[in-house]
Amino acid sequence: MPESSYLALFLIGLLGGTHCIGMCGGIVGALSMGAASRPSLHLAYNAGRIVSYALAGAIAGALGGASLVLAGQLPVRIILFVLANLMLVALGLYLMGVTRALAFSERLGQRLWRHLQPLSRRFLPARSVAQAFPLGLLWGWLPCGLVYSALVTAMTSGSALHGAGMMLAFGLGTLPNLLLAGLLAVRLKAYAANRVLRTVAGLLVLTFGLWGLFESAQLIIEG
């Protein structure tokens, strides 16, 4: 996958902030109450969440790599490359506010989340790093269309290492919004919802996707 995919996923995580706060804002708010407002707890929670993203990315990348081996290299590689760039186009449009079609993917993870959610209650209220980190690990699997869409791109990377790296970039993009949500939730929400900022970021991600589709067409013609 081109290195631009790492930047694209970072931007998607950074500027999809209103979605992230909506999905994880409750647990972040709980960590901000009373004695649980220590920065170390927020760092531990977010570290656990990003580790889960990277693990999911490694699994997705490994599955994509296995499909290349089993089905032959060039045709499958082109298909995965096209799929990845179509997803970048969709995510660019999402950032621009053109579509909310990503929500359908959240239904795909509901079955897994039904098994994981009860486990998270064991760590609430989180009063220590030893509770906040595993809580973040579990909440990293919360059904989220933004995360699942990023995972599709990670799958097309063709390797566990690159898949983990892509989801790490995505997770780091989400970090500012959720790490500071407890103290600056109103300002961050306004920043992430800024129309001009989201449009510029969406156009950039959209450009990545369209350029990738152009390169895919060139590969097909040359092949």
**What does the pLDDT look like over 31-50, one tens digit per residue?**
655 544 678 888 899 999 99
Mean pLDDT for 81-107 is 72
Say if pTM beats, i.e. exceeds, 0.75. yes
Quote the crossing angle between the two packed helices 160-179 and 145-155, to the nearest 10°: 150
Q: What is the pLDDT of residue 153?
A: 83
Question: Which pLDDT score, from 0 to 100, does residue 59 have?
Answer: 95
Q: Which two tokens stand for residue 181?
A: 């949500």
Domain ranges of the chain: 4-222
Query: pLDDT of 125-175, one tens digit each?
Result: 888 899 999 999 998 998 887 788 788 888 888 889 999 999 999 999 988
Res 58: pLDDT: 97
Confidence of residue 186 (pLDDT cuts 50, 70, 90): very low
Query: What average pLDDT does the chain have?
Result: 78
